[in-house]
Amino acid sequence: MMLCNSRLLAILEWGIVLVLDLLLWSLHPGYGQADGPLGSDSVWDASWATVDQVVAVIGDEPLFLSEIQTAVQQFRVSGSLSLYSRDSLFCLVLEQAILQKLLYQAALRDSLTVSEIELDAELNRRLQAFLGIFGSEEALEEFYGKPMEAIRQELRRLLREQMLANQKKQQLLANISITPIEVQEFYDRLVGSGDSVPLVEARYTLGIIWRYVEPFSWQWDLAFQEAQDLLKRIEGGASFAVLATLYSDDPETQRVGGRLGWRAWHELPDYLKGPVSLSDSGSVLGPFRTEEGWEIYLLEAKRGDRYLLRKILLRPALTRQNYARTYRLLDSVRRAILSGALRFEEAARRYSQHVDTRYAGGYFMDFEQMRPEVPVSALPSFLLPVLDTLQEGRLSQIVLFPDERQPAYWFVYLVKVVPAHRLSLELDYDQVAQMALEYKKQQFLKDWMRRQRQKTFIHIDASLRHCFPEFF
């Protein structure tokens, strides 16, 4: 049965199979406490605290009510898949949890393996993310009620299961493709489903040439001398935090005495990794020259590969001459393009400092579709007022981006606009084809799940069998 458009698009937006990343909460001592009795409205009532219930058994592995509730609550709080009722979303999440268990067990039967190097890398990435949330290993251990090594081992087990399941899914879907006839049939069903055809937002093909307002060399030298003066004051006993509050040009840390908090080694800029590793607590490091200015750091404490830091940033002071120099350069580039002496793409490669576009000839790219046409929602908001009045095939005027950290001048070249419209094969074939392919993969996985009943014991609580009418 064909889903209505809004719900179909909501699923496809999330890639059909929801990734149930419950690692953070499944280790918590409160995990396993369901919100209420199964099959009642009180399942959603946070005032309940009852013993958890098994909602399904896949092979010899149970799925608990609390697992599904946690994922559903995360989606509801974030607004994800908000078109679904809570019961429909519960069924969808339960289905994907069962699918992951089935994929994992199929991976074991097929003797699939996970590289220990990849597993360790993903484990470290997740742990660093958790430490970023909690701030320290001690806080993480207190939250989970278990030592760090136990947390690490449990996360490793859960990640192995998740990675094996993903590997099996990729294997199953590797050879699924879509034909033009299937794309047409999918679109016809979409249009004839009785729901309104989805609205597609406006798309732009445009390029940008961007140039930062940069200091002169003498301004860098003057800022360096100021940094050296601060270092002498710190060595003489002055408070780093007080000096950061008085002199730092970093608005995020200046008001808190330069405090950066705990940072993992991999989160640090490359120029700081070696010095913090080799220095003792209490060391003052720098000054380091960066794109923003001269930076000085205080290493307050070390704990494993995590570092407690404060920072002072001294930017070279810009003058009207700096702004004028950058504007004149960009103006000359723009005039050369208008006269035909320089192609826009070549100008972007030679003169633009916009890191996301300069190597694509200055154009914003949709990297999923690998084409220089992007939806309006993906464009920086500061471009929109200029684009509202700019005609296709024209260059905009030069505009100042007045960022206090790194001001810049820019102008854009608007190649083409596809206005907002109802989804159509003529204008949106690639998007419709991708939707049709994802829907085909979804149906394949559903059929595969049904066939697994011959190989794997699957029991679903009677009160939830309405989620799986094809099973019963």
Three-state secondary structure of the chain: CCCCHHHHHHHHHCCCCCCCCCHHHHCCCCCCEECCCCCCHHHHCCCCCEECCEEEEECCEEEEHHHHHHHHHHHHHHCCCCCCCHHHHHHHHHHHHHHHHHHHHHHHHCCCCCCHHHHHHHHHHHHHHHHHHHCCHHHHHHHHCCCHHHHHHHHHHHHHHHHHHHHHHHHHHCCCCCCHHHHHHHHHHHHCCCCCCCEECCEEEEEEEEEECCCCHHHHHHHHHHHHHHHHHHHCCCCHHHHHHHHCCCHHHHCCCCEEEEEEHHHCCHHHHHHHHHCCCCCEEEEEECCCCEEEEEEEEEECCEEEEEEEEECCCCCHHHHHHHHHHHHHHHHHHHHCCCCHHHHHHHHCCCCCCHHHCCECCECCCCECCEEHHHCCHHHHHHHHHCCCCEECCCEEECCCCCCEEEEEEEEEEECCEECCHHHHHHHHHHHHHHHHHHHHHHHHHHHHHHCCCEEECHHHHHHCCCCC
* pLDDT tens for each residue of the chain, 472 residues long: 344 444 444 433 333 334 434 444 455 554 445 544 444 444 444 433 445 688 899 988 888 888 788 777 766 665 555 556 777 888 888 888 899 999 999 999 999 999 999 998 888 888 887 777 777 778 888 877 888 888 888 889 889 999 999 999 999 999 999 999 999 999 998 888 766 688 899 999 999 999 999 999 999 999 999 999 999 999 999 999 999 999 999 988 999 999 998 888 888 999 999 999 999 999 999 999 999 999 999 999 998 888 999 999 999 999 999 999 999 999 999 999 999 999 999 999 999 999 999 999 999 998 877 889 999 999 999 999 999 999 999 999 999 999 888 999 999 999 999 999 999 999 999 889 999 999 999 999 999 998 988 888 888 888 888 888 776 6
Residue 438 is assigned to a structural domain of this protein: yes
pTM of the full structure: 0.71
| Residue where a domain stops, chosen among 270, 288, 314 | 314
CATH of the domain at 387: 3.10.50.40
Residue 41 is assigned to a structural domain of this protein: yes
- 94/155 same-domain check: yes
| Residue where a domain stops, chosen among 314, 338, 373 | 314
Q: In total, how many domains does the chain have?
A: 3
Residue 472 is assigned to a structural domain of this protein: no
| Residue where a domain stops, chosen among 257, 288, 314 | 314
- 353/387 same-domain check: yes
| Domain span at 409 | 203-214+319-422
- 291/345 same-domain check: no
- 18/148 same-domain check: yes
- 76/15 same-domain check: yes
